[in-house]
Structure 1
Amino acid sequence: MKRLLILFTVLILLLGVRAAPVIQGFSIDPDEIWMENGETSDVPIISITRSDNETGVRCFSNITAPDGTIFRDLSLIEISPKYHEIEQDTLAEYLQILNLEGVYYVVVFCNKNQISNVESGSFSIYDIETTIEVSPNPSYLGEDIEIIFNLKENGRIKKEGLENFKISIDGEDWNFIPGNPVYIPSKDGYFLEIEDLIKGRHDLEVNADYRGKKVSNLFEINVEDPVQFEITNLDDRTEVKPNENITIRVRAFDKNNDNFRLKKEYLEIEISSDYVDSDYFSISKEGSDYYDIDLKPPSHSGGEKSLKVSFDYNNFPIIEETRKLFYVIPISGRILNYNDDPLNAEFSFSSNYFNKKIKTSNNGSYFDYMCPGTYYTSIKFPHTDLELENLKLDKDEFSDPFSYNFFDEFDLGGIRAASLYFLEISPSFSKGSLNMYYNPQYISNEDNLKVYKCDNWDEGDRKCDDIWEEIDFEQDKKSNEVNIKPSNEAAYAIGNRKFLDPSFSLNKDVYYLDDIVNIQGVIRDDIHDPVGNASVDIRLEGTSKDIQIKSASNGIVSVTMSSPNKEGNYTLSINVEKDPYDDFNSKIKLVVDEKEEISLVTPEAVRVEQGETSSIEISVVNIGQSDLSDIEFSIEGLPENYYSFTEKIPYLEKEEEKKVKIDFSVPEDVSEGTFNGKFKIEFDGRIKEEIFGFTVLKKIQKEGEDDQNQESDTSSTTGKFVLPEISLPSLQFLHKLLYIIPFMAISFAGAFLLKKGKKKSSKNESKIKETFSEIKSQIRGKKEDDSEEN
């Protein structure tokens, strides 16, 4: 069918020939190509020659492969005038891609002005495959070695055509036994035999001629001693568990002794320089040439040991087999969370020779055997991946070498933790990487995420007995993980640091010199929870005044200090600290002025008879902290014509006292009665007032000299009498008033009795005077007692 298609194509092209370029010669050389063991050795040269004198001629070729694939429009390059050739590299690439044996059909055409001339031909590719079989392999000293050489052409065994065989060993020509080669149908190949090879590994090469071409193949031959001994079941990862025997399987034989059997006396077994007595192992035969040595290993501490088994038999060279043994010891522990619920964990230990994976069971416990040593370790806990380099497992660290715990949304006082992890690694390690997951819903600000570390975590009380230290980390927001460098024992918190939000106040806006400053405050955090045991430092800037105090459990702070003894504007600097909160700093303005104060010492009652004049003195004392000037004095509540005085004190120094004399004068026609008056002092915009009682007494009529003198004494006494000092409307005034009222009553009664004294005996008069004196003494004593109480 393919040939008909090609011929049809040629006929169609020939129909259009009109003054076409003339192809004088067409060749394919070689037309038979070998593809030996999958590789093509040659590429055919496809060329044409032309006899015409045309210019601008273009030549092309189509090649149809054995599977029907067509390589179209392969250009024939004009190498010289009228000589064209397919480019070799392009054709080689196509043939390599197909890699098919079979017949390839070639059509070549040259054209000019759409007029073509065509030639056709073919070439074949043969798949040649050679193989070598060697028996026995390995072979033993003194044995002849048989070689079978096979050749297939396009998948078919070739039984003839091979000639001129040659053999080389390790690159040197080697003679095979005369009479070879011979084709053996049962082997589908040519038989050759060689002898006298020495012990060792040798490269064998067989060469032959086939249809004028060289074919060859290589093979490795191993020649060994006839006596063999080797360990077959132990690798360098064999574990030796406590109180358990180990089985060593060996292959042992003497090729020249069919009755060979392995015996104890042929063996010497040594484990790390400790020889094993023959009483501690036994030998059993397990199939052809195989034996099991059941061995009770000597006691050794855990770790890597060396096994050496020496085979000494019939003066043959001693054969030594060595292996690594790992004396392992139990490793166990349990991974529980803070509620003692089991956690899943997976441990992976690896070294150059020893690898182990351990998983926890359903109750969180794990148990296995490990060899003390140094490992690269990978541990997977819930939400955590831990990698440790050069983890050194000593024999004393095989019971609970790892502890782990984690908490979601854990409040640490100054840290709002989205996740809290506790990790304890008993063995030492050189370097580590810890990946920890955090729940973003518990993070208030992921851009301001922090990782904190506590080196002294109390797992029982779940608190840090040290400070929370901020540490470096790498954050992966997509997976919600942070990566840190772990230490042997620490707790790690992932979250946001809280900040302190205290408030402080003063009990006054302005303080006087050496005044008492009362500072009140409450320490709270950013969500207004009280913060106890915070360190508070209050310092009055520009002075040596400095107070340190701790906040109470409810966050309350209350301190006092004395104000400076110099007026001015001062600043209270307040610093609040508590780990791991952010520090708080604040300033409060403190105003200190000199106190301006006057004490006004006045009587509480003034009595003047109708038509009489009476004088009193009041004391004005500067009890403040600065000098005063322009002090004005006035009286309110009385007609202005009832009194006269100096209205102004120009200057009053600090602690100075000045007297102000006041003259009272009452017209005769004024009715009897008592009025409320007020002494008033004005200074520097301030007012000081004292209330007093003003009583107008009825004028007493004179009836004689004695009466006149008596009345004069009485009038004078009454007019100038100064009552005890009180301050209306205080309770103190009411208290004192209890003593004033009876005294006033007795005074009036006494005056009345004196006036009528002429009718009574001198004895009665003397008794009244004594009574009056006792009452005055009692009042004076009571007043002194009240002054001491105040």
Structure 2
Amino acid sequence: MKKYLFFLLFLSTAFAKPLIDVSISPDELWLGDEVKIRFNCSDGNYSIQKFEVLFTNPIMIPNSSLNIQKSSDYYFSLNLVYPYSGKYTYQIYCESDNAGENSTLADFEFFVYNLSANIESIKPGKIYEGDEIKAFVKVKRNELEINASSDLFFKIFLDNSQIQPSTPIYYDSSKGWVLSFFSPLGKHKLKIETSLSQKSVSAERDIEVYKSIELSFLGIDKTEVNPEDYVTLRFFAKERDYKIDNSSLSISLLLDNSSLPFNYSLLDSLDGTNIELKARVTNISVGDHTISARLGYKNQTLIKDVQIIRPLKIEGGFISDDGFGYSGKIKFKRDSFERSFIANTSGYFSGFIPKGKYDVEMEIKDYPNYPGVKIILDDVDINSFEDPIRFDVLKDVSIDGLGLGAVYLIKANLEFSKATLELAYDQKKIVNESEIIIYKCEDWNFAKRQCNVELEEIDAIVDKDKNTVKFDDSSFSVFLISYRKKLSLNLMTDKKNYNLNDIVTISGYVQDDDGNYISDAEVKIKILGSSSYSTKTDKNGYFLLQAFSPQSEGVFKIETITSKSKFIQDIKTVEINVTKSRKLVLFLDDSYKLYEGENITIPLKIVNTGQADIPLAKINITDLPDNFKIIAKQEERDIKAG
């Protein structure tokens, strides 16, 4: 602790000024330290009435900015955070209640030092594994370089872990302090901590340690290999960024753990050596194989396993059963792998792919049904591929009840999890695209061009703009893009008016919406309020049925419904008028003989054989000779039916 005592000596104590006593700690001050200043003002038996402290250099700090406190004496603390080293000066003013000279203004000072350490350079410029690294550090107290001191110490840290120097630290007059150490491979944070008289500073630098010998694999010219193919593997070697000593290089090559003969060539360059290995691959099976390359150079070894594949041959075509070929392409996709094959004009395609599981996409052009057919098969295990696909557009197919926009035969002898099909249709053959129905036939009769089993309806999405239908399925067969035809019933009766319980002859014929006569169509007839009947059309599409009219009078509707599988039914009605019949029968005994001038009574018998009573019937006898007349008769009477 430094102490300052300031006083004035006078001949008479009556005129003595106040005395100022100052102490400073710590004794040695550095930038960043906290300085504590204590002072005491005394004037004999007089009391101190006022005191002030003012810093004047290198910065101005007024009394009001100093937190001056008092215990046994006055004290305050100051953090030396200012960017100034050197001499700091300040004044202390004390004033007492002495009637004489009662004030003192005194100047004081202390020195602040700056300790700095800087890593000037690191050698070597590029550091390799095993190199001894030298860091050159210059240490200064204020601006004066420190070249020797028993109080100077250094610590070396790599990535915050302290390491020991490899040789004793020494001072080089041109480069500064020399600190030597070793570092492992890679990038590191170097920190050197410098301490002087309990003051510490640190300096940091990023360093990177490289391999002295580098062996690297550059690549292989191909990974799909067929028997007798050559493969080329390329490597690069360097020692301290320069070519290697070829006499120290050793190489071996294995194929599936068996020795593989090879030739090699070396090409030196300014920054290293290119190594090229060339080997001929023979007698490998379809599937995955491993080429293992081993390169040794001095104390370094590189072992590189490279996967090669003998691919599977893909061959097939979009061919119908009668040998007609369709153009198109087939694509195999998995992860980032994708390979396509284009069918030639005969419909055939071929190529090579590695064995494995793929999504398979097929596009088959079926003109004029553009864009044709798209088929996507998910999760297909491709372990063999020998013409597994059959495709055809079936022509001249006729299915009762259906109008056909397209009929496709699709077969694929492949196992898959799901199939998505997009099939095109001929819009001109579809009457109403809103009524499109997709059918599937599991057992198609190619000779008769018809389905041997009941057609299965499939849900599908119809794209009217593209003229396609899209649906998912789990198996393939024959698919029909169709709509249901409508039946048209032409109905007639033999007459319009009937008596009770008359025979009504109902006839007609059934056609589809193309005008074709439909045989074997069911015809159901119901006379509303009476009986029902049924029949079928003959081979020409005609039908005839006899029924009985109702047993009551009135106007009756005859409703007729015609239907057949797949067709949309048709309903027609006609009306008939039914009344009771009115019929009288006259019985006359023709054994009577009538002579001129005689009167005779001849009985007449009239019987109502009809179905209705005849009220107030009038009986008229006409066509008698002029000389005969009727003497008496009953002109009107009721005649009951029966």
Instruction: Pick the TM interval, shorter chain.
Output: 0.5 to 0.7
CA offset digits 1:385-409 (Å, max 9, x no partner): 51525242455774332424276x9
Note closer, same or farther for the CA distance 1:574–1:316 as it changes in structure 2 (3 Å cut).
farther
Report SS of the residue matched to 2:501.
coil
Indicate whether 1:360 and 2:343 are aligned: yes
Q: What is the CA–CA distance in structure 2 between the aligned matches of 1:565 and 1:221, rounded to whole Å?
A: 118
Q: Is the 8 A contact 1:599 1:622 kept in 2?
A: yes
Matched, 1:452 2:437: yes
Aligned to 1:475: 463
More helix by share: 1
Structure 2 CA distance for partners of 1:412 and 1:469, relative to 1, 3 Å: same
Q: Distance in 2 between matches of 1:198 and 1:256?
A: 25
Partners of 2:470 and 2:361 lie apart in 1 by 15
Equivalent residues of 2:225, 2:308 under 8 A apart = no
Counterparts in 2 of 1:632 and 1:363: CA distance versus 1, 3 Å: same
C-alpha separation in 2, matches of 1:636 and 1:221: 150
1:262 and 1:291 in contact (8 A); partners too = no
Deviation per CA, 1:694-719, whole angstroms, max 9, x where unpaired? xxxxxxxxxxxxxxxxxxxxxxxxxx
1:494 CA displacement:
6.0
**Conservation of the 8 A alpha-carbon contact between 1:628 and 1:651:** yes
Question: Aligned residue for 1:258?
Answer: 247
Shift of 1:350: 0.7
CA contact (8 A) 2:440 2:479 kept: no
Q: Is 1:335 equivalent to 2:319 in the alignment?
A: yes
- The Cα offsets for residues 536-570 of structure 1, whole Å up to 9 and x where unpaired, read as 332344456242x4333332122233334444443
Q: Specify which of 350, 360, 374 is matched with residue 377 of structure 1.
A: 360
- Superimposed CA distance per residue, residues 324-380 of structure 1 (whole angstroms, 9 cap, x where no aligned partner): 6465254413434x9854321111111126432112122222233455544333322
Alignment of 1:775-790 (within 5 A): none
Q: Structure 1: how far apart are the matches of 2:441 and 2:470?
A: 18
| Contact preservation (8 Å) 1:595, 1:625 | yes
Q: 2:587 and 2:623 mapped to 1: Cα distance?
A: 18
Separation (CA, whole Å) in 2 of partners of 1:604 and 1:470: 83
Partner amino acid, structure 1, of 2:569 = D
SS in 2 for 1:524: strand
**1:517 corresponds to which of 504, 507, 511:** 504
Specify whether residues 604 and 441 from structure 1 end up closer, same or farther in structure 2 by C-alpha distance, changes over 3 A only: farther
Two-structure CA RMSD over aligned residues (Å): 5.4
Shift of 1:609: 5.3
Match of 1:485 in 2: 471
Q: Does 1:285 align with 2:263?
A: yes
Secondary structure, aligned partner of 2:325: coil
Residue 516 and residue 449 in structure 1: after superposition, are their counterparts in 2 closer, same or farther (change >3 A)?
Answer: same
Quickly say closer, same or farther: Cα 1:234–1:170, change in 2 above 3 A.
farther
Q: Map 1:660-699 onto structure 2 (within 5 A).
A: none
Q: What's the offset of the Cα at 1:455?
A: 0.3
1:501 counterpart letter in structure 2:
S
Identify which of 339, 344, 361 aligns with 2:327: 344
Measured after TM superposition, the shift of residue 450 of structure 1 is 4.0
Distance 1:142 1:232, change over 3 A: farther
Q: Give the letter aligned to residue 511 of structure 2.
A: R
Q: Of residues 477, 482, 500 in structure 1, which corresponds to 2:487? A: 500
For residues 468 and 597 of structure 1, do their structure 2 counterparts lie closer, same or farther at Cα, with a shift above 3 Å needed? farther
State the distance in 2 between where 1:224 and 1:649 align.
Answer: 145
Which moves more between the two structures, 505-514 or 317-326? 317-326
* C-alpha separation in 2, matches of 1:467 and 1:395: 34
**8 Å contact kept, 1:451–1:473:** no
Q: Distance in 2 between matches of 1:346 and 1:513?
A: 75
| 3-state SS of 1:258 partner | helix
What secondary structure sits across from 2:247 in the alignment?
coil
TM-score, normalised to structure 1, is 0.45
Structure 2 residue aligned with 1:704:
none
Query: Does the 8 Å CA contact 1:453/1:492 hold for their aligned counterparts?
Result: yes
Quickly say closer, same or farther: Cα 1:229–1:633, change in 2 above 3 A: same
* Letter aligned with residue 529 of structure 1: N
In the TM superposition, what is the alpha-carbon distance from 1:512 to its structure 2 partner? 3.4
Which letter does structure 1 place at the counterpart of 2:261?
A: I
SS of residue paired to 1:634 = coil
| Structure (1 or 2) with the greater strand fraction | 2
For residues 423-447 of structure 1, the C-alpha deviation after alignment (integer angstroms, 9 at most, x for no partner) is 44554655665555555566666xx
Alpha-carbon distance between aligned partners in 2 of 1:248 and 1:364, rounded to the nearest angstrom:
34
Q: Give 1:303-452 correspondences, 5 Å limit.
A: 305=288, 307=290, 309=292, 311=294, 319=303, 321=305, 323=307, 325=309, 328-336=312-320, 341-352=324-335, 354-371=337-354, 373-382=356-365, 383-388=371-376, 390-393=378-381, 395=383, 398-405=386-393, 414=401, 416-417=403-404, 420-427=407-414, 434-437=421-424, 448-452=433-437
Secondary structure at 2:346 match in 1:
coil
CA, structure 1 residues 482+517, in 2 after alignment: closer, same or farther (shift >3 Å)? same
User: Structure 1 residues 312, 624: closer, same or farther in 2, change over 3 A?
Assistant: farther
Cα separation, partners in 2 of 1:253 and 1:441, compared to 1, 3 Å: closer
- Structure-2 separation of matches of 1:483 and 1:203: 65
Aligned-pair CA distance for 1:522:
1.5
SS of residue matched to 2:436 = strand
Unaligned runs of at least 5 residues, structure 2:
1-124, 134-156, 166-179, 191-205, 238-243, 267-274, 366-370
Distance in 1 of aligned mates of 2:430 and 2:159: 74
Q: Distance in 1 between matches of 2:312 and 2:228?
A: 13
Go from structure 1 to structure 2 and tell me whether the alpha carbon gap of 1:263 and 1:429 turns closer, same or farther (over 3 Å shift).
closer
CA distance in 1 between counterparts of 2:640 and 2:410 reads 78
**Matched residue of 2:363: which SS?**
strand
In structure 2, the partner of 1:586 is: 572
Query: Are the structure 2 counterparts of residues 330 and 349 from structure 1 closer, same or farther at C-alpha, using a change threshold of 3 Å?
Result: closer
C-alpha distance in 2 between matches for 1:508 and 1:323: 92
Residues 65-121 of structure 1: CA distance to partner in whole angstroms, max 9, x if unpaired? xxxxxxxxxxxxxxxxxxxxxxxxxxxxxxxxxxxxxxxxxxxxxxxxxxxxxxxxx
Instruction: Give the aligned partner of residue 558 of structure 2.
Output: 572
CA 1:203–1:387: 2 relative to 1, 3 Å = farther
Report if the CA contact (8 A) 1:388-1:430 is conserved: no
Q: May I ask how many residue pairs the two structures share in their alignment?
A: 446
Deviates more, 1:449-458 or 1:423-432: 423-432
In 1: Cα distance, 2:412 partner to 2:288 partner: 27
Compute the displacement of 1:520 (Å). Answer: 0.9
Q: Residue 651 in 1 paired to residue 639 in 2?
A: yes
**Quick one: which of 542, 545, 560 aligns to 1:559?**
545
Q: Which amino acid aligns with 1:589?
A: E
> Does the CA-based 8 Å contact 2:611-2:641 persist in structure 1?
no
Distance 1:173 1:605 in 2: 162
For residue 602 of structure 1, report the CA deviation from its aligned partner: 5.2
Residue of structure 1 in register with 2:90 after alignment: none
Distance of 1:220 and 1:516 partners within structure 2: 116
1 CA distance for matches of 2:592 and 2:417?
99
Counterparts of residues 130-209 of structure 1 (less than 5 Å): none
Aligned position for 1:233: 220
SS at match of 1:501: strand
What SS class does the counterpart of residue 537 from structure 1 fall into? strand
TM-score for the superposition, normalised by structure 2: 0.54
Distance of 1:386 and 1:143 partners within structure 2: 66
- Please give the alpha-carbon distance, in whole angstroms, between the structure 2 residues aligned to 1:372 and 1:568: 82
**Letter of the 1:233 counterpart:** I
